[in-house]
Amino acid sequence: MRLFNVAYIFSFILLRLYYSDYYIFLPFMLNFLIYWFTFFKINFFGVQYSSIAGDKLQNSNSIRSVHYLFFIKLNQIFLIFFFIYIYLFRGFVDTIWWNHFKLSNLAFGLIIVLLAVNYLYLYIVKANSLNSGTYKFDYFFALINLSNFLPLIFLANTLFTFLFVLEVNSCVVFYKFVVSKFWYNDSKSTIKINNYAFRRLLPKNYLNMLFFQYWATFFSSVIIMYVLISYIYIYGTTEWIMLNLLNEITLKISYHYNYYNNIILSAMLLFAFLIKIGFTPVQLYKIEVYKGLPFIAIFFYTTYYFLVFFMFFILLVVYYLNSFIIYWWYILLSIIVFGGIYVLSLLFDVNFIKAFFAYSTMINSLGFICIALAMLM
């Protein structure tokens, strides 16, 4: 009987430890399973069996096709549940999953702000009358997955975890760009003038968008991976607190030992971030990406998606790795000065409204960098 009690207590402790490592991810995984189950169910009912076609699946035009507003409303419902779940964790500080994720009031507050911005975006999209024959639900399914996984970036406690979450979201973003080809519908279009030029230009912009987005994501991920391996070799860890502490000790004990290495690594990390979001002075490829996207995708990309990564970058510079500012202070200052002048010189020479949106976003981002540097002075 005593042996049974000991085994029961031991199993309870193990179950408690297992639950304590994964309880924060339960709603994310539950939403992920519900989203994908619903998506595959809808695709299954979207095809029908036809014995005349030689036992082949054919696209069905039956009345059971689901409107894209279904995914928008489903996303709004789960955002409300997310908001309540995250709000109940305020005041709770802990590290989970072997210190790969950290729960804090700062992270919860930023996630709540992002959930509100995401809900506002969905409300604006739903309030506008969009053509259901042009906008497919695959695009909004990708938005649901981004809404589910992007907040995890602010819970990352190491550079390795950040890179892992970043790659998951990059795959979803690329899928969202692939299914964003819905600018034009021959059967419902009212455009009668210069139809040939219109249809000839859009596939070119679409392919350019996929090409530049893929290689920009690839090179930025490779650079961040190199910085990650270098930090593990130098410091033995990539946890934010330990990196900050060890760098402070290095600066006080042996100033010139890792100084130049850290300058190169910090510059590479900053350059990878600039490539990832298409910031100046490497913003020219982002213009091609914007040209190949519809306006609704640009609206999401310049508001919610861009806000997530830029907020995390400011958090990284100001809070997580504030001791590394000695390495990239002059780099950020040169980007503000020369990048601002370069963007302003190009801003008045654009005749494409999507390119204008890209440059205006970069100018606003320069203002955010100025605020971040002012907070560090």
pLDDT at 74 over 80: yes
pTM for this one? 0.82
Q: Does residue 238 or residue 291 have the better pLDDT?
A: 238
pLDDT at 154: 92
End-to-end alpha carbon distance in the chain: 66
The phi and psi torsions of 217 (rounded to 5 degrees) equal -65, -40
pLDDT at 134: 59
Distance CA 23, CA 96 (A): 9
pLDDT digits (tens, 9 = 90+) for 279-321: 766 766 777 788 778 878 888 888 888 888 888 888 888 888 8
Band the pLDDT of 153: cuts 50, 70, 90.
very high
pLDDT at 285: 73
Average pLDDT over residues 362-371: 76
pLDDT at 45: 65
Q: Is 156 exposed, middle or buried (0-12, 13-18, 19+ CB in 10 A)?
A: buried
Check if the beta carbon of residue 69 is closer than 8 Å to that of residue 123. Answer: no
Band the pLDDT of 327: cuts 50, 70, 90.
confident
Q: Is 96 exposed, middle or buried (0-12, 13-18, 19+ CB in 10 A)?
A: middle
pLDDT at 247 over 70: yes
pLDDT digits (tens, 9 = 90+) for 8-39: 454 555 455 566 677 788 888 888 888 888 88
pLDDT at 73 over 90: no
pLDDT at 129: 59
pLDDT at 332 over 50: yes
Q: What DSSP letter does each residue of 304-319 carry, written as one string?
A: IIHHHHHHHHHHIIII
pLDDT digits (tens, 9 = 90+) for 104-128: 898 999 999 999 999 998 888 888 7
